[in-house]
Structure 1
Amino acid sequence: MLYVIIIAALVIFWLVAVDRPVLKVCFKQGHIEKSKGRFPAKFQQNLQEIGERTPFDGELKVYQLRTGPKLAFSKQIPKKVQQRIRNVFPHQGFTSKSGKKTG
C-alpha cells in the first residue's frame, strides 16, 4: 500500500514540477541559437527579422493552456521586443490538440 502512495506522489510531482513548453527558443545576439518543439515557418522568419533589427539575448517559451497558448519571456528580452514578438505570434498555429470538433 505504501508503494502505491509513493508512486502517486512521484507522478504528481512530475506533472507539477517539470517544465513542459510546446516550443522553446533560445536567442543569442538576435539570432536563433536553439529551438525545441513545433516551430511554424512564418513565425520563425518573423523572429529572425526582429532579431536582425534589434539584437537581443534570452529565451522564449510557449505553453499550451486550456485558454490558448501563453508566451513566457526571459528577463533579458526587452519589453519592446516582447511586444513585437507577441504581435507576430500565430495563435492559430498553436491550437489545442484536444478533441475539438468543428461544424
Structure 2
Amino acid sequence: MWYLIIVAAIVIVWLVADRPVLKVKFKTDKIFSIKGHCPPTFKRHLTDIIEHENFSGVLKVYQLRSGMKLVFSNQVPKKIQQRIRNAFPHQGFKSNSQKAKSH
C-alpha cells in the first residue's frame, strides 16, 4: 500500500517539476541546442550576442501568471544576462490569459 503512495508522489513530482517553455544551451561561440518555441528575431539576437562574447551556459524561460521569467545558469555573466533580457521579445510569448477573447 505504501509503495503505491510513494510511486504516486514520484509521478506527481515528475509531472510538476522543471518544465520551461524554452530552453537554450550555449557553447563558447554558438547556440548548442534549442528546445521549445524560439521566435526568429530572438534567435538572431542571441546568435549576435554569442558571436561577440565567449561564454557557455543555459537559458530557461518559464511562463508565469505575471509574465515570462528568464533563468540563467551561473556560467552566464551578469552583463550578458542583461543584454539577453533586453533582446527578449515579451510580446512573442503570450500567456493564456492574455489571448484575445472572441465576442
Using the size of structure 2 for normalisation, the TM-score is 0.84
Identity %: 60
Deviation at 1:7, TM superposition (A): 7.0
RMSD of the TM alignment (CA)? 2.3
**Paired position in structure 1 for 2:9:** 9
Deviation at 1:14, TM superposition (A): 3.0
Aligned residues: 102
Q: 1:54 to 1:99 in 2, by over 3 A?
A: closer
Instruction: State the distance in 2 between where 1:3 and 1:101 align.
Output: 46
Unaligned 5+ residue runs, structure 2? none
Q: 1:20 to 1:53 in 2, by over 3 A?
A: same
Instruction: State the distance in 2 between where 1:13 and 1:66 align.
Output: 20
| Correspondence 1:19 to 2:18 | yes
Q: Which amino acid aligns with 1:45?
A: R
**Paired position in structure 1 for 2:56:** 57
User: Which digits, 9 at most, give the CA deviation of each residue in 1:47-73, with x for residues without a partner?
Assistant: 000001112100000000000000000
Equivalence map 1:10-89=2 (5 Å): 10=10, 12-16=12-16, 18-89=17-88
